[in-house]
Amino acid sequence: MRSIAKTSISHGLHNIPVRICSALSSSSVTKIHNACPNCKSAVGKINKCKGCGTELSENQLLKSYDLENEKKIIFSKEQIDSLKTLEISIDVLGTLPYNKLDVRLIVGGYYLLPDKQVKAWDIIRQALDKTEKHIIVKYAIRGRTHLGALRGSPDSIYMYELEYPENLTKIDQAYNVQTTKSEVEQGVKFINSLVEVSQYEIKDDYASALQTLIEGGQLEIPQKMIEEKDEMAFFS
């Protein structure tokens, strides 16, 4: 299984080497890209063919799905657009207990806030929390349908954006390790020795450092603004 990086889980003197591997693979949709109508080569971000160099307009572009051995299937833009949905909807599929949601599938989320019928919204919000069940939904937005899970919270209904299970990467290597009961108990003892933390108190170090850098940086004024200021000074 290909790894993104190698590092270790560390705490004090404890150090466990690990490889970071992506848990989700790209769906077939992400493999579709723009193609040139002339030579069928890939088209770059500035709509210039990487093969023949032709500059193309949006309505000239085709869509290409790449296969193995440099083979590809070509579609028209209209064929791809016909697969999109214009509606915005959230359709209920059923329920799933909180503890059975596979967290590996969570890729994002949204707040669902009330629009007019506040009481009906609040009934569902509280019911979700009391039953400790997600409502599993399919929702359509921006032309595509997605999988979601609704969960109650103190001030909103939260909708997890879920990846489809078919895109979950399978681990292709078995790790047959023999551990004793006492060794596992040592691991349990280590975990229980860790202090409980609140995720709301953990700060983004990179964002904080970047903000400090911005505040201490030198303000650069575009030359155009300087020239405009000089022109206005003539009339003062």
∠ CA 126-127-130, nearest 5°, is: 85
Reported as a pLDDT band with limits 50, 70 and 90, residue 224 is low
Rounded to an integer, what distance in angstroms lies between the CA atom of residue 47 and that of residue 36? 9
Residues sharing a CB contact under 8 Å with residue 156, sequence separation 6 or more, in sequence order: 111, 112, 113, 125
**What is the pLDDT of the chain when averaged over all its residues?**
81
CB atoms within 10 A of CB 106: 13
Domain residue extents for the chain: 89-167
Global pTM reads: 0.67
Letter string b/e over residues 160-172, b meaning 16 or more CB atoms within 10 A of that residue's CB: bbbbeeeeeeeee
Q: Tens of pLDDT along 107-139? A: 989 999 988 888 999 999 999 999 999 999 998
Rounded to an integer, what distance in angstroms lies between the CA atom of residue 107 and that of residue 57? 33
- Residue 16: what residue type? I
Virtual torsion, Cα 106, 136, 30, 82, nearest 10 deg: -160
Which of the residue ranges 27-36, 39-48, 135-144, 189-198 would you say has the lowest mean pLDDT? 27-36
Contact 95, 128 (CB under 8 A): no
Reported as a pLDDT band with limits 50, 70 and 90, residue 199 is confident
∠ CA 33-37-41, nearest 5°, is: 50
Phi-psi region of 205 (alpha: psi -120 to 50; beta: other; left: phi over 0): alpha
Strand-pairing partners, residue 138, are: 91, 147
pLDDT at 221: 64
In the predicted structure, residue 28 carries a pLDDT above the cut 60: no
- DSSP for residue 145: E
Rounded to an integer, what distance in angstroms lies between the CA atom of residue 151 and that of residue 86? 26
DSSP string covering 159-173: EEEE--GGGBPPP--
pLDDT at 157: 92
Reported as a pLDDT band with limits 50, 70 and 90, residue 180 is very high
Contact 177, 16 (CB under 8 A): no
In the predicted structure, residue 81 carries a pLDDT above the cut 50: yes
pLDDT at 234: 46
Phi, psi of 218 (to 5 degrees): -90, 130
Among residues 59, 62, 70, the alpha carbon closest in space to that of 37 is found at 62
Higher-confidence position of 33 and 108: 108
Contact 64, 29 (CB under 8 A): no
Considering the domain 89-167, what is its CATH architecture?
Beta Barrel (2.40)
Phi, psi of 223 (to 5 degrees): -55, -35
